[in-house]
Structure 1
Amino acid sequence: MAVTATGVFRRTPRERADQRLAWERADQPFFAAGACHILAWVCRDTYPDRPIGLAGLRFAGERQVFHVYATWAGWAFDHAGWNPEADLLAANREFERRPLDRITIVDDLAAFCESQRHRMPHRYWGDPLPRARDYVNRHAPPWE
């Protein structure tokens, strides 16, 4: 799957206001905008034998992270599957047309959600964890 900037899939105002409508989006848009952090944590947990890290993107100078993804040995995993991290960064910078910062995330999911005002799994219309596990399993990791 080709790298696609997360902003391509931003939720509409109706999707932001209606959890069920947001939930009913196809997997790629759902995990690009609104549940990327869930996908990243599930990816890390799926491969406990690998040193998978977590990273986030935010607009330069801002505190709020707008996209979270998993990292491993120069690769990134997000809604577009596994791609070179440099390609993911370039696609998002080009789409946003403004400087971005990449940050390493060391918090656990609950602390991250609290500090960044992201939704915990139990706050979605349905349980996103099985959906995220299925999505991770559909994308072969680069070490296979």
Structure 2
Amino acid sequence: MAAVAAGVFRRTALERSDQRIAWQRTDQAFFAAGACHILAWVCRDAHPDRVIRLAGLRFVGDRQVCHVYATWAGWAFDHSGWNPEPDLLAANRDVESRPLERIALTDDLADFCSAHHHRMPHEYWRDPIPRARDYVHRHPPPRGA
């Protein structure tokens, strides 16, 4: 599947205020906007044989990260599956009205959530970890990379 900007799947006001309704979105929408950080951490943990790093996108001048994804050998994994990282960056830049910058993430999940105002798994309507594991397993890393 080709890289699609996370901003295409932004949550509505109702989805932001009601975790049950947000949970009922498709997997791609759920992991694009609202649980991308959960998906990235699960991806890294699901592949202990690879050096998978985490990266975030934020609007230039902002402190908060608006999208998180996993990286490995020039590839990026997010709600769109595995794509060359330049394709993921271009897709997001093409949709947003403000410039984005990529930053490396080195925090653990709890520290990241605290610093960037993202939800921890226990703060969702249901535990998103099993859903993220299933999604990661449906999108194996590219062969030969």
Deviations 1:28-62 (A, max 9, x none): 00000000000000000000110000000000111
**Which residue number corresponds to residue 105 of structure 1?**
105
**Which residue number corresponds to residue 32 of structure 2?**
32
Aligned to 2:56, the other structure's residue is in SS state strand
- What value does the CA root-mean-square deviation take over the aligned residues? 0.8
Letter of the 1:49 counterpart: D
Gaps spanning 5+ residues in structure 2: where? none
Determine the C-alpha separation between the residues in 1 that align with 2:91 and 2:21. Answer: 27
> What is the TM-score when the length of structure 1 is the normalising length?
0.98
Aligned to 2:141, the other structure's residue is in SS state coil
Aligned to 1:70, the other structure's residue is in SS state strand
**Which residue number corresponds to residue 93 of structure 2?**
93
Q: Residue 2 of structure 1: CA displacement?
A: 1.2
Matches within 5 A, 1:109-128: 109-128=109-128
Determine the C-alpha separation between the residues in 2 that align with 1:91 and 1:97. Answer: 12
Matches within 5 A, 1:1-144: 1-143=1-143
Runs of 4+ in structure 1 off by over 2 angstroms are: none
The share of aligned pairs that are identical, in percent, is 74
Q: How many residues align structurally?
A: 144
Gaps spanning 5+ residues in structure 1: where? none
After TM superposition, the structure 1 stretch with the greater mean CA deviation from structure 2, 90-99 or 131-140, is: 90-99
Letter of the 2:31 counterpart: F
